[in-house]
Chains A and B, each alone.
Chain A
């Protein structure tokens, strides 16, 4: 066991954990803003009550995203100091801009939103929640700009003398080909997360017979958001897969456990047996599909792992340049499989809603509650795929993960921090889920004016 391994585990655990809360915040903040906007325009008490319910849930979730985010920024320097020295000239800028442009915005206006209900005109107060939502989206953009540079380094040159990558064009970094689709993909995934979350809360209360008229409308908001977003996910995912076929062919080959270059390439639905290309016991394949997915043409060539490995050796010297194939293969399938399930589930629900049958479909409503978990699992799988699929590189084709770790940090120190984070994160997850369930079950409450909503949200 080396510090490197534990540092990777820590990064993986803390990042996946952080990203359990972030998508719900990114998706739910604009939905709460919309609810408050309707409440503001109609002064209909039903909308104030909904704003309070989902506002409270947003806040419970928001706190977790905020506190786990600080760890993310600090651990580059703590565990990955060599990485930080090497990429800081480029990578630090989007992080600093994220803080200045996004974190100040969301934190200041979140404070104004929570505590400002009685202290400013309603219209101005409404603006604060929109600024919070804007802050969360801006934050996603800048951090994904940083991550996109790791996937597809652009706008830089290596300075051999000081041994680091140096920024040549900030424009190239902020308009990285990888960034636009990744940002869109993240935003719609977040909206899908929030949509299914809202649907689940509404379904619970429809089953209980609480405020059914209001929650039927709420379920419609959830369903439309969830279905619309999941539909778009297909396109943004497809565009990303095509880009990666060009930019990170190894990641796509690993996702398919495809060892030989194929043209046309079939898509593996399900494979049993060793994924090392030797003994495939059972494999269901759809002909041509991978070619279409990756290149938009039936006959498009998709490179295999073996060819890519030899190319990498020729370019970078001896070494193993293949990621962990089973992890890449299965996380990719979990992500896509769950997205398909979300799509089907959302479409069926909307169909029921249109026929006026949603309320009476108790079985559907019962399934809608655990369905809220699927987007979280799908997002986590997507991130594990995109980060593990890039290995052994931390910056694609530029810096190996093994060369990024902090030389001065000992195995014991990393073990201690890994244990510390895992312990506190486990406790907080239990507490957080408990509170979300409690307040989701509590339902609409009696707050029928914005002032009452404000009193219910403060500490």
Chain B
């Protein structure tokens, strides 16, 4: 594959995987955070969880594949990033562990205390990653102390630059909004109205943090000279997109509103990745220590193999994942859970006969 710039292609692929991850798990996180607020009773909570039940696991695999692709294509990027963001990633992992198990285990006992505890796990397990992913990606772009050996030489506080914190608040509020709009599409009855009401209120913080973050990024891009692409159009479209959400929600066009929140997430992370290119880790110590797609990549041989594997498998994966969304296109209704689940801990099959 001599005719292709393989490291550039793999940068694009990894960006694609993270964008897909944030689009998909973005609404999972939002749904998880909004679950306590929009629900009036346990049946509501089960409806809310079941809106993402069939898909959250596959959505999370986007992250695993992004991490694996980073390891395979840019081992230096993977090594520097993961060891530098040790504590944030630890928190993210603990959160994802608790949250993933909570989905599966919550309804396995008909005990309010048991369920309330798992609901806490779902809430915090969604909120922490939603915040920390923004902190991490904004921080990567803004730069952290990295030495000539590509090792992180800062401390935890170096990861919490105000720009990174703003990035975190932006992802937190964007994912909340994205999840709220998702719920208007996937629930039924009163839940739809409550979800829409939350979405309309959540639009404000999402719009403000997104506008603030993109403006700050733009100023950074103008005053620094070592960034790659100047993506004027991408952040502008992101702003148009987030602005349109408010109008679409008022008009009751929830489907378009969901596409618009999704587009905002894609365009914002698109801005981050475009600004980053061709760097993959920015050193705040010295631009000479930046990791780039040139000095951080695997050999052409490995990249060629991985390109063939990705070409062969990605279309198949996208096809069956799209099919699974088609299978579960209907709204989740309360009828499925009402009158069910009164079995108690020793209660034979009654507990499960949620028909």
Interface residues of A (CB under 8 A from B): 56, 59-60, 62-64, 66-71, 73-74, 76-79, 81-82, 84-85, 87-93, 95-101, 103-105, 107-112, 114-116, 119-120, 164, 166-168, 170, 406-409, 413, 416-417, 420-421, 424, 428, 431, 435, 438-439, 442-447, 451-452, 455-456, 458-459
The smallest C-beta distance from A70 to any residue of chain B, in angstroms, reads 6
- A81-B79, A459-B107 given as contacts; is B53 within 8 A of A167 (CB)? no
- Which residue of chain B has the shortest Cβ distance to A413 in the bound complex? B86
Say yes or no: A98 contacts B98, CB within 8 Å: no
Chain B residues, Cβ within 8 Å of A97: 68, 309, 313
Chain A residues, Cβ within 8 Å of B109: 435, 438
Q: Which of B69, B104, B306, B340 has the most CB of A within 10 A?
A: B104
Q: Does B112 lie at the interface of the complex (its beta carbon under 8 Å from any beta carbon of A)?
A: no
Chain B residues, Cβ within 8 Å of A62: 104
Say yes or no: A103 contacts B65, CB within 8 Å: yes
Q: Does B240 lie at the interface of the complex (its beta carbon under 8 Å from any beta carbon of A)?
A: no
Give per-residue flags for B74-106: 1 if the beta carbon is below 8 A from chain A beta carbons, else 0: 111011111110110110011011101101111
Please tell me the number of chain B residues within 8 Å of chain A, measured between CB atoms: 78
Contact of B50 among A64, A66, A85, A458 (CB under 8 A): A458
Say yes or no: A445 contacts B78, CB within 8 Å: no
Contact of A428 among B69, B72, B89, B97 (CB under 8 A): B97
Q: Does B328 lie at the interface of the complex (its beta carbon under 8 Å from any beta carbon of A)?
A: yes
Say yes or no: B55 contacts A88, CB within 8 Å: no
Given contacts A93-B302, A167-B302, A409-B83, 9 further A-B contacts (CB under 8 A): A96-B72, A97-B313, A108-B320, A109-B320, A164-B75, A421-B94, A447-B352, A452-B353, A459-B53
Chain A residues, Cβ within 8 Å of B107: 458-459
Chain B residues, Cβ within 8 Å of A424: 94, 97-98
Chain B residues, Cβ within 8 Å of A100: 65, 68, 309-310, 313-314, 317
Q: Does B60 lie at the interface of the complex (its beta carbon under 8 Å from any beta carbon of A)?
A: yes
Chain B residues, Cβ within 8 Å of A59: 104
The smallest C-beta distance from B84 to any residue of chain A, in angstroms, reads 7
Chain A residues, Cβ within 8 Å of B352: 56, 445, 447, 455-456
How many Å lie between the Cα of A428 and that of B97 in the bound state? 10
How many Å lie between the Cα of A164 and that of B75 in the bound state? 10
How many Å lie between the Cα of A122 and that of B301 in the bound state? 44
Say yes or no: B96 contacts A70, CB within 8 Å: yes
Say yes or no: B348 contacts A445, CB within 8 Å: yes
Number of residue pairs spanning A and B whose beta carbons lie under 8 angstroms apart: 259
The smallest C-beta distance from B167 to any residue of chain A, in angstroms, reads 20
The smallest C-beta distance from A157 to any residue of chain B, in angstroms, reads 10
Chain B residues, Cβ within 8 Å of A170: 302, 305
Chain B residues, Cβ within 8 Å of A99: 61, 64-65, 67-69
- Which residue of chain A has the shortest Cβ distance to B301 in the bound complex? A167
Say yes or no: A89 contacts B299, CB within 8 Å: yes
Say yes or no: B313 contacts A101, CB within 8 Å: yes
Say yes or no: B80 contacts A456, CB within 8 Å: no
- Which residue of chain B has the shortest Cβ distance to A421 in the bound complex? B94
Q: Does B46 lie at the interface of the complex (its beta carbon under 8 Å from any beta carbon of A)?
A: yes
Chain A residues, Cβ within 8 Å of B82: 74, 76-78, 81, 84
Q: Does B153 lie at the interface of the complex (its beta carbon under 8 Å from any beta carbon of A)?
A: yes
Interface residues of B (CB under 8 A from A): 46, 49-50, 53-55, 57-58, 60-61, 63-65, 67-76, 78-84, 86-87, 89-90, 93-94, 96-98, 100-101, 103-109, 149-153, 298-299, 301-302, 305-306, 309-310, 313-314, 317, 320-321, 324, 327-328, 336, 340, 345, 348-349, 352-355
Chain B residues, Cβ within 8 Å of A98: 68
Chain B residues, Cβ within 8 Å of A64: 101
The smallest C-beta distance from A394 to any residue of chain B, in angstroms, reads 14
Say yes or no: A84 contacts B104, CB within 8 Å: no
How many Å lie between the Cα of A93 and that of B75 in the bound state? 10
- Which residue of chain A has the shortest Cβ distance to B49 in the bound complex? A459
Say yes or no: B61 contacts A114, CB within 8 Å: no
- A77-B81, A82-B79, A424-B98 given as contacts; is B354 within 8 A of A455 (CB)? yes
- Which residue of chain B has the shortest Cβ distance to A78 in the bound complex? B82
Chain A residues, Cβ within 8 Å of B61: 99, 103-104, 107-108
Q: Can you list 5 contacts pairing A with B, beta carbon distance less than 8 Å?
A: A111-B324, A407-B151, A417-B90, A435-B108, A446-B349
Say yes or no: B71 contacts A66, CB within 8 Å: no
Contact of B353 among A69, A164, A447 (CB under 8 A): A447
A-B complex: 8 closest residue pairs judged by Cβ atoms: A88-B75, A77-B82, A445-B349, A92-B72, A92-B71, A96-B68, A99-B65, A111-B54
- A70-B64, A456-B349, A459-B106 given as contacts; is B78 within 8 A of A420 (CB)? no
- A84-B79, A417-B90, A439-B108 given as contacts; is B65 within 8 A of A63 (CB)? no
How many Å lie between the Cα of A177 and that of B261 in the bound state? 50
Contact of B71 among A91, A167, A443 (CB under 8 A): A91
Say yes or no: A71 contacts B97, CB within 8 Å: yes
- A88-B71, A445-B349 given as contacts; is B89 within 8 A of A74 (CB)? yes
Chain B residues, Cβ within 8 Å of A101: 309, 313
The smallest C-beta distance from B329 to any residue of chain A, in angstroms, reads 10
Chain B residues, Cβ within 8 Å of A87: 75
Say yes or no: B58 contacts A92, CB within 8 Å: no
Chain A residues, Cβ within 8 Å of B94: 420-421, 424
Q: Which of B72, B81, B100, B340 has the most CB of A within 10 A?
A: B72
Chain B residues, Cβ within 8 Å of A458: 50, 53, 107, 336, 354
- Which residue of chain A has the shortest Cβ distance to B350 in the bound complex? A446
Say yes or no: A66 contacts B76, CB within 8 Å: no
Chain B residues, Cβ within 8 Å of A82: 79
Chain A residues, Cβ within 8 Å of B84: 408
